[in-house]
Structure 1
Amino acid sequence: MILSLKQLLEGPRGIVFVNDNQAFTDSRIIAEVFQKGHDKVLRDIRSLKCSDAFRLANFGEAEYVNGQGRKMPMYVLTFNGFAVLAMGYTGEKAMQFKELYIEEFDRTHRLLADLQVTLLSKEQKMIRLAVRNRILLLYPNLSIHSRKKYFAALYKDLKQQFQVLSYKDIPRNAMDEALAFICGWVSPKLVSRNVNEEVEYVEC
């Protein structure tokens, strides 16, 4: 079945996908977008006159299972690999497809860049203040020493929520989500728990 461009863009993978924080496409998707047979795209890739180093860095050999259950060859391409391959595709329609691909790669690269930008100093302070206010709201009558285990528990849950080693590593684009998590945090029962771990507590 040949998918439309709209179906490809809105599908579960799109025409550009992310693996290990890098953007890729593959030869099957390229065949769909450029309306070519997949075997033709494979031949085009194999016949490129690029260096071995460039080929190894930008064209990864892979496999997929076809409708008959057979393993078939395909390639996974970086943006540079796609750009070199697409140079050979000419015509008005091919140019439209190339522009579409470049826009999608650019959009994906921007999303990845946003994910890799962590909190600024002032945003880290906002996180600490939100944590402090939440603990004070939940436990207004406890001494500073007694509250320490609750600070530790909240920071631990916050780091687990965002899969980071420190709250400072939370992505900037997740700042609002982090503040909402803190404001909605409800502590476990820690009164009888002996907490010996280092407490991440900062008075603001």
Structure 2
Amino acid sequence: MSIVRYLTHPQVQIDPDVPVPQWGLSPVGRARTEALANAGWLASTTQIVASGERKAIETAEIIAARLGLMIEIREAMHENDRSATGFLKPAEFEAVADQFFAAPHLSVRGWERAADAQARIVREAEAVLARHRPGDVLFVGHGAVGTLLFCHIAGHPIARIHDQPAGGGNCFAFAREGRRVLHGWRVMEDLGT
């Protein structure tokens, strides 16, 4: 059975003066990813596919270097487009994110609609999986679109109750054949157990 995993990048270096897609991993996020890459449970992975955002690429590169794989970058796997608001302080961001998930067919403060972001991430994942290459697949991306993909695979309506735990560096997995969820969100440190 081929396993498909969707991993969200862990902690980033927040800089309000830098566009969010250009944020890189923080030292904590980098250390968490290095520990994950050395854990060994990704040994059957043959494809690593990342969003074009810097934090996702950095996460994927650390894992790919350990596994001796190249990464494929798919620009359309980016996080939901929030450029209309730019950086928001944490409390305000969480309130807008709540609205994003609660009203998937509406644009909240100019953000990409959740329904559109879901259609985009599902299209990207299915394009990769349609190649039917042997081995496991690791997608490296972001929390909101990852949650939207999880909702689609699991057959759940879009809702924030299905969002990843805080902090990033979480993963869900499903069987390529039949798209059956194998496990919901787990923090990266708990994946090999």
Normalised by the length of structure 2, the TM-score is 0.22
Higher RCO (C-alpha under 8 Å, 6+ residues apart): 2
Pick the structure with more strand per residue: 2
Larger Rg: 1
TM-score (norm 1): 0.21
